[in-house]
Structure 1
Amino acid sequence: MPAFRSTHDLEQSLWAAGLGAESRDIAATVRPSILFVRQQQLDDPLPVGLSKIGGNPDLPKDFAWPERAAFPDAAKRAEALHQRGATIRDGLEQLQRDHPDTHIPPEHLDGVVARHKGMAAYMYVPMPLAFVAQINLSTLVHEAGFPPDFPDTGLISIFNDITGDQLSVHWHPDITTLERREWPHRLVDYSDRFGQGAERKDGSWQWERLTQAEVLFPFSALTVPHHWKYAFARGSAKWNKIWDWFQEGAHKFAFHPSADLVAGDDTVTANFGDRLGGWPSDIQGNAEEEIDGSEIAWPGLTPWRHLFSWGAEFYSGTRMMPHDMAGDGNTFLLLHEDDLAARRFDRVKSTYQQT
């Protein structure tokens, strides 16, 4: 999605795309946002409370690490995992039959089935959620793109279930009691046995070897709702122009912070699409409509506020645990405006999109 440093840049972009007559209406719907560039750094020396993706979280002393209960439909989920393991094995065996020069060791085929059987056992027991990110509002409030209706103090912690679909978002108003916390043993054991790269014989993905976090460097911008893509009659001249503008036409004047804006090692620095506030950078349809199924009548007219979104990709060596079925898309967190005003972050909803 195009983002801009100023309304002047936005309007220049729209005029260049032949949408000058609509530029003021579109500019009236922008929302301030903070876009992030990530840089991988050693986790342990980082200051407590720093905004980051992955790593060990900083939590209040009396905060209980979130976990999900055993699934009520554990048997159904376990069976689905057994079937997935069998399907993968069948596919690999078919690959060998189709390509006789391809050799897959029998122990690898057996390991695929055993891995999914092991994963299935965790459906029957409580499971800690994986830490995703922490966002320090107390420091980000000084950025021009900080959303004015967000809390101006505290830290937001985000956790998700790598074995299911549960999400847990917490706002800690007082950051003076934060302390760095190790991940629960059950979660680490699961990651080492069944997680991404668990089958690597060199052990490079074993949890004890992961020492990094991805620090979030903020850049302020104005964001435009994707709703405008659906504001004009399908197939009309304006419809074609607005779609072209969202896809390519805005890039000349748009702002997309990149690694060259952050000092340090540019080989572990990149923009993964992480952002705070503003409008979601939709990959498919409107994220707000996916949350409640209500059609947006006109651009900007929705009670849902975009809290935070992040890209699923991360650097090797980062203390992260991706979902068992993770892709390379983005997760969007949205909160109803009434719940945001009441600071009910426990009511955050999420949706995932990928190309």
Structure 2
Amino acid sequence: MPEPLPRTHEEFRSSLAASSLPRPLVDRLVAQARPALLLVTQAAEDSAIPLGASKLGGWPDLPADTEWPRRGPYADAARRAGLHREAASRLLADARRPGSWISLEDAQRFHREYMAKADSVETTFPLSFISQLDLAALAREKGFDPAFPSEGRLLLFYDFWERPEEFVPESSAGWQLIWDRSPIEGLVRTRIPPALQAIASDETCCVFRPARIDARTVITPMPVNDRNWDAFPLEDAQLLDTYKDWLEHFGTPDVPEGENQQLGGFPRPLQNGLQSRNQLAANGLNCGSSEVWQTDAAKKLLESAGDWQLVLQFGVDENAGIPAPGACYVMMRVQDIAARRFDLARVAYQCD
């Protein structure tokens, strides 16, 4: 089971010092560390969670005149639909081969799911409700990032069924991060749309159980793949291995026993390039191929990739029913957070 993240800078320093890293390096890593709020969940009925309170899953609290957030067809819907239909056909073909790894019954079930997903990316479709955060309540915690607003609620809706690739510019249709400052008395607990409920199942996870959120301050370490890393040269294999071994004690947000939900601080990414891919895709570059990274346009954009920081991390959660594999990272540029441009957020799904 992963160790809990340090609760204070003193705990952080003590833990690092025990790793045998040199004292000056420990000082630098402590100075770089960022406070964050660990979002601890507890299963609860929606009726037991106050209107406007922080939670994962369930029914969101929206202004009475607000429709459930939906995305339009993806701009690259033809590509997405083609991939899903190809996968559906391939599964049926595999099932009909002698000694197949998959039964015909399972292949037919997955075929229906892939075909339904292909249809959905070409049409308007409701987004899954992920989380609702009461910023005024969370702002009272020490680990709350003062760069975030301290009023209203931050709501995340995401196409969890499709889980669009963050390195594709067109993926931005697949999420909405909403800062809502409506008075609580004007909120309504909004029912899940029938189109979303109709596809919800153990295999098709897109509707999540309600889970109450309690916040706790933690101190988060900078990952070595952060664009602002300067603690030591990454070519120093001994220091790198020692630091990575220390980081591994805290686990990653894709395991059931971990501390997976987080507001602010440094992320615990499952892959490299979290900031860089968001920077390129946000500026219209599909960076799914290596050639793009070598262009002058990409190199220029990457100079400011370090402006991207974590807003919200959510991973596996047994209370809300958010399944493995993988985790999601809601990222924004520091200047967009300051300008309250939550419409410019990007969501990166990573799977190890």
Give the TM-score range, shorter chain.
Answer: 0.7 to 0.9
1:157-209 deviations in Å (ceiling 9; x for gaps): 100123463110000123422220001222223x15xx5447xxxxxx998xx
Matched, 1:25 2:20: no
Q: Give yes or no for contact 2:153–2:179 (8 Å, CA) kept in 1.
A: yes
The 1:180–1:246 alpha-carbon spacing in structure 2 relative to 1, beyond 3 Å, is same
| Aligned residues of 1:224 and 1:279 also touching (Cα < 8 A) | yes
Q: How far does residue 344 in structure 1 lie from its aligned partner after superposition?
A: 0.9
1:108/1:329 Cα in 2 relative to 1: closer, same or farther (>3 Å)?
closer
Query: How many Å apart are 1:98 and its aligned residue?
Result: 5.5
1:184 aligns with 2:190: no
Which structure has the larger Rg over C-alpha atoms? 1
2:342 counterpart of 1:345: yes
* TM-score, normalised by the number of residues in structure 1: 0.76
For residues 247 and 270 of structure 1, the distance between their equivalents in structure 2, rounded to whole angstroms, comes to 14
| Residue from 203, 214, 217 that aligns with 1:217 | 214
Q: Aligned pair in 2 of structure 1 residues 281, 139: CA closer, same or farther (>3 Å)?
A: same
Q: Specify whether residues 346 and 206 from structure 1 end up closer, same or farther in structure 2 by C-alpha distance, changes over 3 A only.
A: closer
Contact 1:38 1:270 in 2 (8 A): no
| Identity within the alignment, % | 24
Find the aligned partners of 2:244 and 2:105 in 1 and give their Cα distance: 50
Q: Equivalent residue for 2:232?
A: 231
Aligned residues, how many? 309
The answer to whether residue 182 in structure 2 is matched with residue 174 in structure 1 is yes
State whether structure 2 residue 274 is matched by structure 1 residue 287. Answer: yes
**Structure 2 CA distance for aligned equivalents of residues 185 and 223 of structure 1:** 40
CA contact (8 A) 1:67 1:126 kept: yes
TM-score (norm 2): 0.77
| Structural mapping, 1:2-151, within 5 Å | 3-19=5-21, 20-94=23-97, 97=99, 104=103, 109-151=107-149
Aligned position for 1:305: 309
Task: Give the structure 2 partner of residue 262 of structure 1.
Answer: none
- Aligned residue number for residue 336 of structure 1: 333
Q: 1:197 to 1:285 in 2, by over 3 A?
A: closer
Query: Which residue identity lines up with residue 134 of structure 2 in the other structure?
Result: N
Q: What's the RMSD between the two structures over aligned residues?
A: 3.2
Partner Cα distance (2:63, 2:345) in 1: 20
The one-letter amino acid of 1:284's match is Q
Higher relative contact order (CA 8 A, sep 6+): 1
Shift of 1:247: 2.2
Unaligned ranges ≥5, structure 2:
165-173, 281-297, 300-304
